[in-house]
Amino acid sequence: MNNVMTKTKKAFLALTVLIFAAVLAPITISMGKSYASAYSIRVNKATNVVTIYNSSGAAVKAMICSTGEATPIGTFRIQEKYRWHELMGPCWGQYCSRYRPGMLFHSVYYWTNGDPSSLDYDAWDKLGTTASHGCIRLTTADAKWLYDNCSYGTTVSIFYGSSADDPLGKPVVIKVSQGAWNGWDPTDPNSSNPWHAARPSIKVRNTKIQYGSNFNPTSTITAYDSAGNDVTSTVSISGANKVKTKKLGKKFKVTYSVTDALGRTASKVVTYKIVDLKKPIIKGFSTKKKNREYNSLFYYKKKVSAKSYAGKNLNKKLLVYVKMPHSSKYIKLRGKAIYLNKLGTYTFKYKVKNPKNKKTAVKYRKIKVNDNKKPQIFGMTSTRTVNYKTTINLKSGLYAKLRSGKKFRSSIILKINTPNGNKGTYKYSKIKTAFTFNQLGKYKFTYIAKNPRSGKTLTCYRYVTVVDPVTITANNVTSGLDLYNPNTNTIQPINYNVLSLATASGLKSGNLTGLIKITSVKNPLNQNVAVSNGLVTLDKAGIYTVTYQVSGTNLRTATKTITIKVINSKVGSTNVPNNKQTDDTQTPDTGSNQTPDIENAQTQDNVSIQSSDTN
């Protein structure tokens, strides 16, 4: 093959040389003269058929050919002839007839000049297709006929037509690439051509016909042409209509004949006998998949029977195997029943052998095991409290599970009732992964999970109370409060409105300053100080702490602690050290971009969220 490829490459490289050589070749006839010829030649490029016409205009011979994309359209005349001629060196053609410079009728090319056993069989097998570089390739027999019978000056018409322009049709050529002598053109009349001894053949594969079957006479034989190609479809058959397959033991004769593309024939008489070759028959169940309940008892032999094609009972020879769900191996069963304790498809294999003809029948039965109970729903918790504008992932951790353990989500349905009375129903694929609570009050979430097999459903509820996060704003007082009155040169207590130091607001509710309560005032000695209408008496130098609180319906309780610094300038700043660190607390900002899971949301209705302010 490598040698062939090398030669092919060389042939392509020599194309240019060939064309110039052909153009410069001498023309042996004068194109201006009239020539008498017994024939004319018409070449149909579309069908790759050459048709020869006699002087009366009647089609007398058809040839299969290979034209090329470069094959010219037009009318020409036979100009020169060569017994062997170099084509696209180093390859040669036999019986070459030139019809214009650089263009020839010739045999399929050979790799060695004068050697008829060096045929390129791949090019031969392409006859009938567009495959040449411009010349018109023929079988050697056809090229020789044209060489011998079409004299100089014979008219050559090349056109692009259709099969309707081929009055004698398109000849069939034998394929040689698989033949024993694929280096030879099988039509070459050379006396050394080994194809001369080749003949078609008919091989018989089987002479037994199944009782009661539809006899197909070509199903038992294969016909080959002289090159070994399968030509069974062209076989002629006689006697097949007399075969009666319901006559057990009867013999019948059928005659087969075949003629190949070389015109060579073969025939064979085959004697057939009607016998029982069929496998046994297994009945009693459908091969369609059936459903059974999880962990049920299945009687796999119930109503099942086995018999030979002739009717003999083979029940005792029936064997049953099972392949469990998610397994690749079959297990032989003993007894009559099996518990179906795995979800999925059980495959039962029934097997029986006919002891007479040794034929074995196998039949499969599939049982799909389902869990039809109500599913369970996981990933939900009981009552929750979250801040207004909190965003949660309603899908987080949410799934349903069958009692047999299989998890699923796609059939979950969520219904949402908002505090304002709005309602919505969502399939699992539409459930929001970022759901924002934008109403104050109680939300009701109804989760429904349906068993995808039985349709049985389980309903679960989740209630979420949404409260408004409150922010208390109050600043520490660090200056301006002095117990010493220089005007009177006395130490005087200060009545101070600590309520006026604080404001409050809710994310949803807005101004909540009116709801502020003072829950604690401590003096520098950590003693409680009485508060009246927001007023306290500051009578000691040092640090006072004041704690504010806001609470109410749909509000998240918030607290904040500030410090008030009181001095006695007569004795120098504070004379009592601060006894505790400032602990200013309030509700944290809920406007962040975090999306907490509902499982991690705040779970109590009245919990103080601590934070600190720094001077």
The domain spans of the chain are: 2-195, 199-275, 281-370, 376-467, 469-600
Note whether 221 and 270 are within 8 A (CB): yes
Q: Is the pLDDT of residue 14 over 60?
A: no
Rounded to whole angstroms, the Cα distance separating 539 from 388 reads 42
Structure tokens at 581: 């660190």
- Region 327-346 average pLDDT: 93
Q: Is the pLDDT of residue 510 over 50?
A: yes
Share of the chain above pLDDT 90, in %: 66
- Region 284-299 average pLDDT: 90
Multiple choice CATH, 281-370, 2.60.40, 1.10.3470, 1.10.20, 2.40.50: 2.60.40
Examine the residue annotation and report whether 133 is marked as an active-site residue of this protein. no
Question: Which pLDDT score, from 0 to 100, does residue 430 have?
Answer: 86
pLDDT confidence tier of residue 3, bands split at 50, 70 and 90:
very low
Structure tokens at 256: 């087969």
- Region 264-268 average pLDDT: 95
In a 10 Å sphere around its CB, with 0-12 CB exposed, 13-18 middle and 19+ buried, how is residue 274 labelled? buried
In a 10 Å sphere around its CB, with 0-12 CB exposed, 13-18 middle and 19+ buried, how is residue 296 labelled? middle
Question: Which pLDDT score, from 0 to 100, does residue 287 have?
Answer: 87
Multiple choice CATH, 2-195, 3.40.50.150, 3.40.50.300, 3.40.10.10, 2.40.440.10: 2.40.440.10
- Region 592-602 average pLDDT: 37
Which stretches does DSSP call E strand in 215-263?
221-224, 236-238, 251-259
Among 169, 157, 175, which Cα is nearest to 224's?
Answer: 175
Give the least confident one: 28-42, 155-169, 536-550.
28-42
Rounded to whole angstroms, the Cα distance separating 540 from 523 reads 7
Torsion angles phi and psi, residue 282, rounded to 5: -115, 125
pLDDT confidence tier of residue 182, bands split at 50, 70 and 90:
confident
Torsion angles phi and psi, residue 52, rounded to 5: -100, 130
Rounded to 10 degrees, the C-alpha dihedral 208/210/216/217 comes to: 20
Give the least confident one: 75-89, 94-108, 378-392.
378-392
The CATH number of 199-275 is 2.60.40.10
Question: Which pLDDT score, from 0 to 100, does residue 212 have?
Answer: 84
- Region 245-269 average pLDDT: 93
120 Rama sector, left if φ>0, alpha if ψ -120 to 50, beta otherwise:
beta
> DSSP characters for 305-338?
EEE-TT--B-GGG-EEEEE-TT----EE--SSEE
Give the least confident one: 158-162, 247-251, 451-455, 586-590.
586-590
Of 382 and 114, more confident: 114
Rounded to whole angstroms, the Cα distance separating 155 from 132 reads 21
Q: Scan for tokens 């949803």, then name that residue.
A: 508
What is the CATH T-level fold of the domain 469-600, as seen in this structure?
Immunoglobulin-like (2.60.40)
Determine which one of 65, 96, 135, 150 is catalytic. Answer: 135
Question: Which pLDDT score, from 0 to 100, does residue 582 have?
Answer: 40
> DSSP characters for 156-178?
EEEE---GGG-TT--------TT
Residue environment code for 234-249, b if the CB has 16+ CB neighbours within 10 A, otherwise e: ebeeeebeebebeeee
Note whether 274 and 262 are within 8 A (CB): no
Structure tokens at 384: 């929750």
State the chain's mean pLDDT as an integer.
86
In a 10 Å sphere around its CB, with 0-12 CB exposed, 13-18 middle and 19+ buried, how is residue 152 labelled? middle
Q: Which of 27-31, 272-276, 360-364, 478-482 has the highest mean pLDDT?
A: 360-364
Q: Which helix (H) or strand (E) holds 469?
A: strand 457-474
pLDDT confidence tier of residue 608, bands split at 50, 70 and 90:
very low
Q: Is 574 helix (H, G, I), strand (E, B) or coil?
A: coil
Multiple choice CATH, 376-467, 2.60.40.10, 2.30.29.30, 2.40.30.170, 2.30.30.60: 2.60.40.10
Question: Which pLDDT score, from 0 to 100, does residue 432 have?
Answer: 86
Cβ contacts of 614 within 8 Å, gap of 6 or more: none
What's the pLDDT tens digit per position in 16-26? Answer: 333 333 333 33
pLDDT confidence tier of residue 609, bands split at 50, 70 and 90:
very low
Note whether 53 and 39 are within 8 A (CB): yes
Whether 281-370 and 376-467 share one fold: the answer is yes
Torsion angles phi and psi, residue 35, rounded to 5: -125, 140
Question: Which pLDDT score, from 0 to 100, does residue 454 have?
Answer: 83
Examine the residue annotation and report whether 196 is marked as an active-site residue of this protein. no
Determine which one of 91, 106, 133, 150 is catalytic. Answer: 106
Q: Is the pLDDT of residue 78 over 50?
A: yes
